[in-house]
Amino acid sequence: MSTTANQKLVFWGCFIALVTTSFAFISRAFMVNMPDLWPAEFGLNQVQGQELFGAGIWPFAISIILFSLIIDKIGYRAAMIFSFVCYALYAVFALRAYGVVNPGGEELTGEALTAAQHKAYNLLYIGSVICALGNGTVEAFINPVVATIFNKEKTKWLNILHAGWPGGLVLGGIITILLGSQAAEDWRVLIYIIAAPAVVYLIMLFKAKFPVNERVASGVTYKEMLAEFGILGAFIAAALIFKQLGLVFGWGGGVTIALIVVSVVGYGLYCKSLGRPLMILLCVVMLPLATTELGTDGAITGIMEEPLMEAGQNPLWVLIYTSAIMMVLRFFAGSIVHRINPLGLLMLSAVLAIAGLFALSVSKGLVIIFAAATLYGIGKTFFWPTTLGVVAEQFPKGGALTLNAIAGIGMLSVGILGGPIIGAMQEKSAQVSIEESLPGVYEKVSSTKEYVLGEYHAVDDTKVAELAEEQAEEVKQTAKAAKQGALAKITIFPAMMLAFYIGMHFYFKSRGGYKPVELTGKQAAGGTEGASEL
């Protein structure tokens, strides 16, 4: 299929929109985690900082799923404009927070400062939620748009599109490092850099002609779209959405269960379908996939941070390096898929991720750690966009819903389940190691805590500080070494994925090989967006 000038404009506009989301992500991560920025400005402790960071993530997953239900009705342009408005409002709230604690040259102290910081925190929290909604809305429109424009090469072009995320992290990270002291003196400059790509994609896409989604153009009804995802898919999504909202707003378990039941029953009564079995399995596999790609990043970054600091390098180079690997490789996904098909690429990625994680669990020294991280980085590069490609190619009737819901499920599952499970694995390794090397000490330095799967034991820094200095240092070093070794246990996640991909391979082989499903109908997919029908 030849690509028109308008289609190229739309694709690159979508690419830059995704760059905007990564600019927003990395700038917020920097401002929250650098002691001289938001923590100093607004008096944030570690808990408050992570609350703000989380507020910029969980609404993303919810908005990408909810927008997928209505995006064919409201149109891609409306969704695009909404995302831009979200970024603008985020800037307004952040700048207003700055003004609250810096009221026209007056230096606040005491109770006045505390009150101002509390008000500013609330503004930042609301702004972070709005920013995340904008990020999710970007994904909600760019994925189905690109899958429709390139409906003969979906996996290839979704990989290229998603090179925009690591590409934005690379560019945004370098800009953040270059700003250096200027950002430390006035963090507002990091808010302004988000405006550049946001304004660019607004200009590029405001008058562009968006395609009609493939399923709409082919006459597939709204009910048929919902049936592809089905009751089981709706249950997975609703359970994760309401569990997350319950954690944020403090709902009781009864309220969460009631909301899940009502939403799933309503969905089921309308669509009257359990969902496509392979689609449901892909939703389930998003838990180990998202955990492997996103959940382990924090652990790996923590391991690499110390040798980088010792070498006098900014820890952001960790993120920039691994993101650069992903960006470059995703541009070449098309030639790889052409040779081994999407399932072959996913199997190869799982093998590399297993090898990379295991190597990281035993690596010592800066060069060796970077070499292991390179292997892991290559392995995780293709998981997310290639899975989107498989969903788009095998379930085109699912339209925007199946394509975007699986991404939302991945984001929610890693936050609710994957991340905490990795943390519990690391704490368990620390427990075993301390008990073996320092008998009788672990009971003195541990506390019992709770997470989504129940209770776990963790090293308590306040209790460690009560030990003699030499013994406290020994406990810290033992726990740190054990947590690095826990990366070997995390290989269970890509191993589960590998088993599933091998099963998929033989399933499709029994049906004559992997082939994309093509829709035919009353229009050729890829026409321009007009009055959408549901």
Domain 1-212 has CATH 3.20.20.30: no
Highest mean pLDDT among 21-35, 107-121, 271-285: 271-285
- Would you say how long the chain is, in residues? 534
Instruction: Report whether pLDDT(163) > 60.
Output: yes
| Position 105 pLDDT exceeds 70 | no
CA angle 381, 26, 134 (to 5 degrees): 90
Q: Give the number of other Cβ atoms within 10 Å of residue 439's Cβ.
A: 8
Query: Rounded mean pLDDT of 270-288?
Result: 94
In the chain, where the domains are located: 1-212, 276-513
Higher pLDDT among residues 50 and 207, named by residue? 207
Q: What is the pLDDT of residue 18?
A: 96
**83 to 20, 124, 129, 353, 528: CA distances (angstroms):** 10, 18, 12, 33, 21
The band of 534, judged by pLDDT with boundaries at 50, 70 and 90, is: very low
Taking residues 458-472, report their average pLDDT: 83
pLDDT at 209: 93
Tokens 């660019």 locate to 200
Element (H, E) at 223: helix 222-249
Tell which wins on pLDDT, 533 or 197.
197
pLDDT band of residue 354 (cuts 50, 70, 90) is very high
Mean of the pLDDT values across residues 457-476? 83
Q: Is the pLDDT at 19 greater than 90, yes or no?
A: yes
3-state SS string for 356-391 = HHHHHHHCCCHHHHHHHHHHHHHHHCCHHHHHHHHH
* Fold match, 1-212 / 276-513: yes
The structure tokens listed for 176 are 């953040």
Task: Flag whether pLDDT at 526 surpasses 60.
Answer: no
The two tokens of residue 84 are 């831009």
The confidence score (pLDDT) of residue 145 equals 95
Q: For the CA atoms of 440, 444, 445, 450, what is the dihedral angle to 10 degrees?
A: 110
pLDDT for position 460: 81
Average pLDDT of the segment spanning 18-31 = 88
Q: Which residues pair with 458 in a beta bridge?
A: 447
The span from the CA of 129 to the CA of 54, in Å, is 9
Q: Which residues contact 412 (CB under 8 A, 6 or more apart)?
A: 58, 61, 62, 237, 240, 241, 243, 244
Question: Which amino acid, residue 242?
Answer: F
Q: Per the CATH hierarchy, to which homologous superfamily does domain 276-513 belong?
A: MFS general substrate transporter like domains (1.20.1250.20)
pLDDT digits (tens, 9 = 90+) for 82-91: 999 999 999 9
534: tokens are 């549901």
| Res 340 pLDDT > 50 | yes
Contact predicate 282/501, CB 8 Å = no
Distance CA 163, CA 180 (A): 26
